[in-house]
């Protein structure tokens, strides 16, 4: 009996100590974690966790500290970003070396170097700081002294320290951007990796603007206090506040300042309560437009070589390869873009014009790298000068000045009223070397040889040849007729037919919502096209006629036949059981409404360009495509903008599929209240002028331009 009772009494006696050890954040010497452990080392409040954070590659882990109460488990510190830990790795707290990382092969490295003294225990604090102390509670090491990409409240950054961005949202390797304290200057810089050379700052925090120079001293300190205020504490006692939290609500919110992988420094907050917003809220960000702030004499700029930087509505840069360039490494955006062709050296204008042509693009600028300047020049002479120059990749004409640029191009960005860029590309049907014989002469020589052979053969052989040729022509003719018949089916067209499972996987379970409209919800997805991953917009049609199978196929067939630069292109569809979905090209600039009613405003030149683009798209739908299409719902939310702010009309051709009782006005009207034409209210026949009326209302309210000018522009097709 005693043998049974005594162990249980002992267990009851020590149980409170185990409970304290699990809730006060203390980690004893000898404690360890493995990649298979579900429970990390938690702080007393449970807000922060230390352990192995699983990456997208399920077999790799990050030794890190993260917000454990936030749904996405936001990582705020990490130790092995360049070399993620494989499955089977281990962390152990030792007395002599502190935190020791062991690989599955038994190789050991110290995470907490240097340690001077003997570690008594570790503590995961509620500030997010993991510390190691001796038996006298004296600090031996702390994670706050090993900076990664994030500052937490109560953390300070002294001279010589820096934050380093990660390589991408999910890749924690060292990135290209730094927030550094050098010689008293606190600035954002790019770094030429894999080396450590820092380029000149593209933004100074010590002056509060992007064009000045640093004015701090080496004793200035960057302080992120417990109230969520980010400020510079000068050696003379003055405090320069960069971003404020809310002192009254400081304990109701988590705060962090992160140097994002794209070079933007951002102050975030997140409510601690389980209800309310489930995402981080942006309180402050610098620079406001990193695309225009960063100009480097050396280095590739924000986006990498031969890329274009543009700012989105969230003030974050988005990078694209201009035509005719493609990503050098799809797994690493910042390695830049390379041309899709090999440029030969052709000095003769006639030969060069047979081989090369230009993409004419406005608003694109590469402010550095001019190697030649010509004036006074017009468009034709500027293009010709680049065409016959073996080094010229791009010519930019601004006014009467023609500037030639060679590869690689750096610091590319969108700039209003910058000029016109002529990007040289090789014609796809001109792959032959101009030094080779003329193709026409080859054809003539071949014809002579064929006729000679034909006339030199016997009559019987000629009869056999003629018979075979006639049968061949007959088979080809019948095949063409069959192909034309099949082409009337949606499935046989260029549109891809997806299963619902494919689109469910492509959108990660319809995770990221892009917008909502009369026909359903639009989600962002990624599909494979031509061997590469392509972003798409997937529209779930949840308000269409359920029994209109034939009508759905007909309308999708019509939409798939439309091709115009001012229409959103349909790439595929889903017709799987009760599921009806459409797959469109993805336009990352979003809708026109986001610019009209948001913080970022369009210039008048851009507004005019967009108005004319929509007018062109409507004329095509009304008069130029094979089947006339009346949109019925022209509004800013249905006008999308491409990378160069060209207008693209979406949701055309779907009005016939919308259930009348599900239209936004809850009447027989198809369209959005405030934009519909009077005909809808009077039971009059609906014509293309219903779209013209909606277009007029849309731009009268949003663009504040003359009604009659817009009406005449569309009615007379003057563009």
Taking only the tens place, the pLDDT of each residue in 141-158 is 999 999 999 999 999 988
CB 299, CB 293: distance < 8 Å:
no
CATH number of 592-715: 1.10.510.10
* CA atoms of 32 and 40, how far apart (whole Å): 10
According to the model, what pLDDT value does residue 433 have?
36
- Residue 362 CB burial class (10 angstroms; 0-12, 13-18, ≥19): middle
Q: How confident is the model at residue 705 (pLDDT cuts 50, 70, 90)?
A: very low
Q: How far apart are CA 502 and CA 351, in angstroms?
A: 48
Q: Cβ distance 173 to 78 under 8 Å?
A: no
**DSSP single-letter state for residue 321:** P
Instruction: Give every CB contact of residue 58 below 8 A, 6+ residues apart in sequence.
Output: none
Distance of CA 244 to the CA centre of its chain: 29
Say which CATH architecture domain 491-585 belongs to: 2-Layer Sandwich (3.30)
How many other C-beta atoms can be found within 10 angstroms of the C-beta atom of residue 207?
Answer: 17
Average pLDDT of span 698-718: 44
The full 3-state SS of 540-565, as one line of letters, equals: EECCECCCCHHHHHHHHHHHHHCCCC
Least confident of 45-59, 190-204, 467-481, 705-719: 705-719
Q: How far apart are the C-alpha atoms of 122 and 159, rounded to whole Å?
A: 27
- Which residue has better confidence, 458 or 4? 458
Count of beta carbons in the 10 Å neighbourhood of residue 426: 17
Beta bridge partners of 238: none
Q: What is the pLDDT of residue 335?
A: 75
**Report for 139-143, 517-521, 531-535, 607-611: range of highest mean pLDDT:** 139-143
Lowest mean pLDDT across 68-77, 295-304, 540-549, 653-662: 653-662
Pairing of strands 48-54, 41-42: antiparallel
**pLDDT of the residue at 494:** 59
- Return phi, psi of residue 3, to 5°: -65, -30
| Catalytic annotation present for 633 | yes
Query: Of 633, 643, 661, 691, which one is the catalytic site residue?
Result: 633
Is a pLDDT exceeding 80 seen at residue 436? no
Task: Compute CA 403 distance to the chain's CA centroid, rounded to the nearest angstrom.
Answer: 30
pLDDT digits (tens, 9 = 90+) for 352-379: 888 888 988 877 888 888 899 999 999 9
More confident position, 648 or 38: 648
Q: Give CA–CA dist 68/75, Å, rounded.
A: 9
What is the total residue count of the chain? 719
- Give residue 231's pLDDT: 85
Computed over every residue of the chain, the mean pLDDT equals 76
Domain 11-145 of CATH type 2.90.10.10: yes
Please name which of 711, 615, 658, 643 lies closest in space to residue 318, comparing C-alpha atoms: 643
pLDDT greater than 90 at residue 9: no
Can you tell me the distance from the alpha carbon of 427 to that of 375, in angstroms, rounded to the nearest whole number? 28
Phi, psi (deg, nearest 5) at residue 316: -115, 145
What the block records as the tokens of 534 is: 């392509």
Q: What is the pLDDT of residues 678-699, one digit of tens each?
A: 665 556 666 777 788 777 766 6
**Is the predicted pLDDT of residue 716 greater than 50, yes or no?**
no
- Decide if pLDDT at 582 tops 50: yes
For residues 60 and 51, the answer to whether their CB atoms sit within 8 Å is no
Could you give the percent of the chain with pLDDT greater than 90? 22
pLDDT band at 518 (very low <50, low <70, confident <90, very high): low
d(CA 15, CA 132): 25
CA distance 428 to 389: 20
Question: Looking at residue 667, what is its pLDDT?
Answer: 36
In this prediction, residue 65 carries a pLDDT of: 96
Arithmetic mean of pLDDT, 421-449: 51
CATH fold label, 150-287? Agglutinin, subunit A (2.90.10)
Of 115-119, 338-342, 580-584, 693-697, the one with minimum mean pLDDT is 693-697
Q: Which of 165-169, 287-291, 464-468 has the lowest mean pLDDT?
A: 464-468
What is the topology classification, in CATH, of domain 312-435?
A: Hepatocyte Growth Factor (3.50.4)
How far apart are the C-alpha atoms of 319 and 588, rounded to whole Å?
A: 10
Q: State phi, psi for 473 to the nearest 5 degrees.
A: -60, -40
Sign of CA dihedral 314, 316, 320, 322: positive
Range with lowest mean pLDDT among 41-45, 329-333, 549-553, 604-608? 549-553
Mean pLDDT of 180-209: 75
| pLDDT tens per residue, range 618-661 | 888 888 777 788 878 788 888 888 877 888 988 887 766 544 33
Whole-angstrom distance, CA of residue 310 vs CA of residue 549: 42
Q: What are φ and ψ of residue 262, in 5° steps? A: -95, 10
Considering only CA atoms, which of 304, 422, 294 is closest in space to residue 356?
422
What's the mean pLDDT in 395-404?
Answer: 92
Displacement of CA 515 from its chain's centroid (Å) = 17
pLDDT digits (tens, 9 = 90+) for 267-279: 999 888 765 557 8
Query: What's the confidence (pLDDT) of residue 372?
Result: 92
pLDDT for the residue numbered 701: 52
pLDDT higher than 80, residue 393: yes
Work out the pLDDT band at 486, boundaries 50, 70, 90: very low
CB within 8 Å of 360: residues ≥ 6 apart: 420, 421, 422
What does the CA dihedral 403, 407, 410, 415 come to, rounded to 10 degrees? 40
Specify whether the CB–CB gap between 406 and 392 falls below 8 A. yes
Is residue 679 within 8 A of residue 694, CB to CB? The reply is no
Which residues are CB-contacts of 617 (< 8 A; sequence separation ≥ 6)?
564, 566, 567, 647, 648, 649
Answer for the pair 668, 660: CB distance below 8 angstroms, yes or no.
Answer: yes
Tokens at residue 161, please?
Answer: 């320290």
Segment among 437-441, 500-504, 704-708, 714-718 with least mean pLDDT? 437-441
Cα separation, 282 vs 154, whole angstroms: 19
Lowest model confidence (mean pLDDT) among 123-137, 413-427, 552-566, 588-602:
588-602
How far apart CA 612 and CA 357 sit, in angstroms, is 26
Residue 458 has pLDDT above 60, yes or no: no
Torsion of CA 501, 503, 506, 509, to 10 degrees: -70
Checking 558-563 for CB contacts under 8 A at 24+ apart, the result is: 558/626, 558/627, 558/629, 558/653, 559/652, 559/653, 559/654, 560/490, 560/493, 560/494, 560/495, 561/493, 561/625, 561/626, 561/627, 562/620, 562/621, 562/625, 562/629, 562/652, 562/653
Residue 197 has pLDDT above 50, yes or no: yes
Q: Does 334 or 567 have the greater pLDDT score? A: 567
pLDDT in the model for residue 469: 64
pLDDT for the residue numbered 289: 85
As to burial, measured by CB atoms within 10 angstroms (0-12 exposed, 13-18 middle, 19+ buried), residue 630 is: buried
User: Cα(60)–Cα(15) distance, rounded to whole angstroms?
Assistant: 35
Mean pLDDT is lowest, of 1-10, 72-81, 672-681, for 1-10
Q: Which of 261, 342, 265, 259 is nearest to 304 (CA)?
A: 261
For residues 376 and 231, give the distance between their C-alpha atoms in angstroms, rounded to a whole number: 51
Quick one: which H or E segment has residue 614? helix 604-619
Evaluate if residue 90 carries a pLDDT over 90: yes
């Amino acid at each position: 009996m005693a043998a049974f009772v005594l162990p249980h009494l002992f267990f009851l006696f020590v149980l409170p100590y185990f409970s304290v050890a699990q809730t006060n954040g203390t980690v004893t010497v000898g404690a360890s974690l493995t990649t298979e452990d579900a429970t990390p080392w938690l702080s007393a409040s449970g807000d922060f966790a230390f352990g192995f954070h699983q990456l997208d590659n399920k077999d790799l882990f990050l030794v890190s500290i993260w917000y454990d109460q936030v749904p996405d488990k936001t990582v705020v510190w990490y130790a092995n970003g360049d070399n993620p830990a494989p499955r089977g790795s281990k962390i152990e707290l030792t007395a002599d070396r502190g935190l020791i990382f062991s690989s599955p092969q038994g190789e050991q490295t110290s995470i907490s170097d240097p340690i001077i003294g003997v570690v008594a225990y570790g503590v995961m604090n509620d500030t997010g700081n993991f510390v190691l102390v001796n038996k006298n509670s004296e600090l031996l090491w702390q994670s706050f002294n090993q900076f990664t990409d994030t500052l937490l409240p109560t953390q300070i950054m002294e001279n010589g320290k820096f934050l380093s961005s990660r390589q991408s949202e999910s890749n924690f390797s060292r990135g290209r951007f730094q927030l550094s304290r050098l010689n008293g200057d606190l600035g954002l810089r790019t770094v030429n990796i894999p080396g450590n050379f820092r380029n000149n700052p593209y933004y100074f925090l010590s002056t509060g603007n992007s064009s000045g120079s640093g004015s701090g001293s080496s004793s200035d300190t960057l302080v992120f206090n417990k109230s969520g205020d980010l400020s510079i504490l000068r050696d003379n006692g003055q405090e320069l506040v960069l971003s404020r939290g809310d002192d009254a609500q400081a304990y109701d919110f988590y705060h962090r300042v992160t140097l994002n992988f794209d070079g933007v420094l951002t102050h975030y907050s997140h409510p601690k309560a389980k209800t309310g917003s489930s995402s981080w809220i942006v309180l402050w960000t610098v620079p406001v437009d990193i695309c225009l702030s960063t100009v480097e004499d050396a280095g590739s700029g924000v986006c990498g070589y031969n890329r274009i930087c543009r700012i989105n509505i969230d003030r974050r840069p988005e990078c694209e390869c201009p035509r005719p360039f493609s990503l050098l490494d799809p797994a690493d955006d910042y390695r830049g873009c390379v041309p899709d062709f090999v440029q030969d050296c052709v000095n003769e204008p006639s030969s060069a014009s047979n081989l090369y042509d230009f993409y004419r693009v406005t608003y694109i600028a590469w402010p550095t790298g001019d190697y030649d300047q010509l004036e006074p020049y017009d468009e034709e002479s500027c293009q010709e000068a680049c065409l016959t120059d073996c080094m010229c990749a791009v010519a930019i004409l601004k006014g009467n000045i023609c500037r030639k640029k060679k590869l690689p191009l750096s610091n590319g960005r969108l700039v209003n009223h910058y000029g016109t860029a002529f990007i040289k590309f090789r014609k796809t049907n001109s792959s032959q070397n101009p030094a080779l014989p003329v193709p026409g002469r080859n054809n003539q020589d071949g014809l002579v040889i064929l006729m000679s052979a034909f006339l030199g053969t016997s009559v019987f052989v000629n009869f056999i040849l003629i018979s075979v040729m006639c049968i061949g022509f007959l088979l080809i003719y019948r095949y063409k007729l069959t192909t034309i018949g099949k082409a009337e089916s949606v499935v046989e067209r260029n549109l891809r037919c997806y299963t619902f499972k494919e689109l469910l996987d492509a959108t990660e379970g319809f995770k990221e919502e892009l917008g909502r409209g009369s026909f359903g919800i639009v989600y962002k997805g990624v599909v494979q096209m031509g061997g590469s991953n392509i972003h798409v917009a997937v529209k779930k049609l949840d308000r269409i006629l359920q029994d209109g199978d034939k009508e759905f196929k007909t309308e999708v067939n019509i939409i798939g036949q439309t091709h115009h630069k001012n229409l959103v292109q349909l790439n595929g569809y889903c017709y799987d059981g009760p599921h009806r979905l459409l797959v469109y090209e993805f336009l990352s600039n979003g809708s026109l409404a986001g610019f009209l009613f948001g913080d970022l405003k369009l210039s008048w030149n851009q507004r005019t360009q967009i108005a004319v683009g929509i007018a062109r798209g409507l004329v095509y739908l009304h008069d130029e495509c094979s089947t006339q299409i009346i949109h019925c719902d022209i509004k800013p939310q249905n006008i999308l903008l491409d990378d160069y702010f060209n207008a693209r009309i979406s949701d055309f051709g779907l009005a016939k599929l919308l259930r009348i009782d599900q239209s936004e006005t809850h009447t027989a009207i198809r369209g959005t209240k405030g934009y519909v034409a009077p005909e809808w209210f009077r039971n009059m026949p609906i014509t293309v002028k219903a779209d013209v009326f909606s277009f007029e209302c849309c731009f009268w309210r949003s663009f504040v331009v003359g009604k009659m000018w817009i009406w005449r522009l569309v009615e007379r097709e003057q563009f």
